[in-house]
Amino acid sequence: MFLIRDNTEKLNLEKASYLMAINAEEKEHSLFSKELHDGLGPLLSTLKIHLEMYYSSPDDPEIKKRINDTLAESITSVKEISNNLSPYILENLGLTKAVESFVDKLKYSKKIDINFSSNITERCKPEIEIAFFRIITELINNTLKHSHATTIDITLTQETEKIYLKYTDNGEGFDYHEVQKHKNGIGLFNLKSRIEKLGGYTEIITSPGSGFKMNVYLVTY
């Protein structure tokens, strides 16, 4: 009787341990997938734009420099993702400067007008800087890939212990309820998940033909 119970308890412990290991592995895979999609994806999209420009103007030294800079940043990003580190550009420059640097690379392509403003001058917690940087770069990436927009407006505002992000584009827009229903737009839901895990709030306003707007609110204390 005791032997059977001991064996049952042992099997239950082994099963619980196995399930914990599986869950931990799945979480790690999920995190890695998000980092690749949200971090490396926008950089590669930027590189694609610069390469298209290079084919049109192969002798332009500025285009060559942009390609080299974006490649170097992509390589560094891959290395740091593999080591589970935050994007190096945030560590060195902070949120505002990092977004300005990213936007500047895209504005040079002249394919879209990007207006960015921020009153954030102090460093935030690393997880907050990473979350907002990922959201902004992924939203820009989505706009470039899907919306056919000509203008993007991005505003970061810090008030006491709160940060607000307002992102809008004048693109085609989409039916957000349909996207939710069919579980499309994994990148968008990853971004919402990032903020919600930090205790923040997101609001998405869009419909076919009316552009896209996303508001993000987060308490930083």
What does the pLDDT look like over 63-106, one tens digit per residue?
889 888 888 888 777 766 654 445 667 777 789 988 988 888 77
Give the Cα separation of 218 and 221 in Å (integer): 9
What is residue 214's predicted lDDT score, i.e. its pLDDT? 95
What phi and psi, each to the nearest 5 degrees, are found at residue 86?
A: -75, 160
- Residues 142-146 have a mean pLDDT of 85
Share above pLDDT 70 across residues of the chain, in percent, rounded to a whole number: 75
> How many other CB atoms are there within 10 angstroms of residue 58's CB atom?
9
pTM of the model: 0.62
Show the domains of the chain with their CATH numbers. Answer: 2-219 (3.30.565.10)
Give the Cα separation of 149 and 144 in Å (integer): 7
